[in-house]
Copies of this chain bind each other. A is one copy, B any other.
Amino acid sequence: MSSGITETETVLTLENINPHVRAARYAVRGELAVKSEQYRAKLAKGEGKDLPFDTVIAANIGNPQQLDQKPITFFRQVASLLENPLLLEHEDVLTGSLGYQKDVIQRAQKLLKEVNSVGAYSQSQGAPGFRESVAKYIERRDGYPSSFENVYLSNGASSGVNTLLHVICAKPETGIMVPIPQYPLYTATLSVLDARCVPYYLDEAANWGTSLEAIQESYDKAKSEGTDVKAICIINPGNPTGASLPAEDIKSVLKFAAKNKLVVIADEVYQTNVFIGEFVSFKKALRDLQKEAPGQYDHIELASLHSTSKGMVGECGHRGGYFELVGFHPEVAAEIYKFISIQLCPPVIGQCIVEMMVNPPKEGEPSYELYKKEYDAIFKGLKERAYALYEAFKKMEGVEVGEPQGSMYLFPTITLPKKALEQAKKEGRAADEFYCFRMLDATGVCTVAGTGFGQKEGSFHFRTTFLAPGTDWTQRLVKFHEDFMQEFR
């Protein structure tokens, strides 16, 4: 920004721009993240000898490949052929001397046939053949039919959420039920849309599960305030909580939605990041329910989202994702199609990564063994780090956290000394934000304060990913916490 501009001179000012954009909050890339980037830049320049750390750990965002995680070879080999199809005519490639197995070549040919070029726009909804692969994946996962016509590829799952909320939010009184704590994409988008967030608290005492009582209470309150509640969002496995919901909880939510005529938005981007129990999709639970009680739940409208950014894929930068619509009126689906058309199409290489995520090498195919090995190693690494971090947190005074269940995060509660609360107040910060800034300044570890996700009044948390390699940084956290508690005792 060129300096010297004062507000009176510009047409646009904080006071006259879109107040709903201004009201939006998105802490995952907020002030803490910006400060951590400044530290990182300083260290990269060889400066920062005065800093008490020599590396910055971005534990604020689930961005595996910015840290340790290597991409899965099959995906990237195919992608390289899609970018440079001339390689497909080269003998070294075809004979495998560059590491390209036959199934890599075949997949690249198949995907190219579908899109002609990854540099061409596809259909707005995504290439039909890729959507077919998604539908088949959903069928295998759930044991129920799925049609490519109901699958919409998206720009990460985030653009899918943005699309759905844009179409549903009709007026300022429209209410969307959102879990608290939540990934702030939901509240930020509702702010921008000038619609109402109807928050329902997750039950920390029950491993951050959904509480039907809390949902009902929140719904009743919203209705009494004149809110036209239209949808309920669930993030499963949870972000930031890491909770993995059992089938019974999912069915309860679906029954509640059916009774109260709510659209269900199921954010299932962490569906393969599950350490305890088994992932159950909302789609499967819905079909099960429909089978158990014929006729009773036929008309639930469900949108389920998935992404290439999480799981063992971790291809955040490729911005791949999809959502499946179940039970939506065709005319409403047509409006969704029109809305996404305005932005033309999701990135085509991202669409290809979606295709490969849902249709990876199969047992017996040449690339299978390496794929399986890489996939399993990433899963194991994530689990090990989750537990290492969990053990570290258990040792910290006033820090409490449940056993890791899923997703990429831990979300511990912190009980802060009174003096720390006072100091935070003095500095004009929420107490957990204050704590996280202190942590960043002392350790170089960037996390996100619980306030960024929402939490019960008077409780404090922070979210950390467990993606960073090594155990050094967890030791930094333990040491920082001791010093912090000492300072404010």
Q: Does A482 contact B (CB under 8 A)?
A: no
Binds B, one of A119-127, A202-210, A217-225, A277-285: A119-127
Q: Does A13 contact B (CB under 8 A)?
A: yes
A42–B343 Cα distance when bound, in Å, is: 27
Q: Does A109 contact B (CB under 8 A)?
A: no
Interfacial chain B residues near A162, Cβ < 8 Å: 342-343
Q: Using a CB–CB distance below 8 Å, which chain A residues touch chain B?
A: 1-3, 5, 7, 9-14, 16-19, 21-22, 24, 26, 28-30, 37, 61, 63-66, 71, 73, 76-77, 79-87, 90, 92-93, 97-99, 115-124, 147, 149-150, 155-156, 158-159, 162, 166-170, 185, 188-189, 192, 230-231, 261-263, 298-299, 301, 309, 314-319, 327-333, 335, 338-339, 341-350
A261–B12 Cα distance when bound, in Å, is: 9
**Chain B, Cβ-Cβ closest to A128:** B41
Contact yes or no, A119 B83, CB < 8 A: no
Of the residues B12, B92, B119, B149, contact of A97 by C-beta under 8 Å: B92
Supposing A92-B97, A318-B348, A329-B10 touch, asked if A117 and B71 sit within 8 A by C-beta, the answer is yes
Q: Other than the known A21-B339, A158-B342, A347-B349, what 4 A-B pairs have Cβ atoms closer than 8 Å?
A: A76-B85, A119-B316, A166-B192, A189-B342
Contact yes or no, A11 B84, CB < 8 A: no
Supposing A65-B116, A150-B1 touch, asked if A12 and B167 sit within 8 A by C-beta, the answer is yes
A309–B87 Cα distance when bound, in Å, is: 23
**Chain B, Cβ-Cβ closest to A14:** B331
Interfacial chain B residues near A347, Cβ < 8 Å: 155, 317-319, 347, 349-350
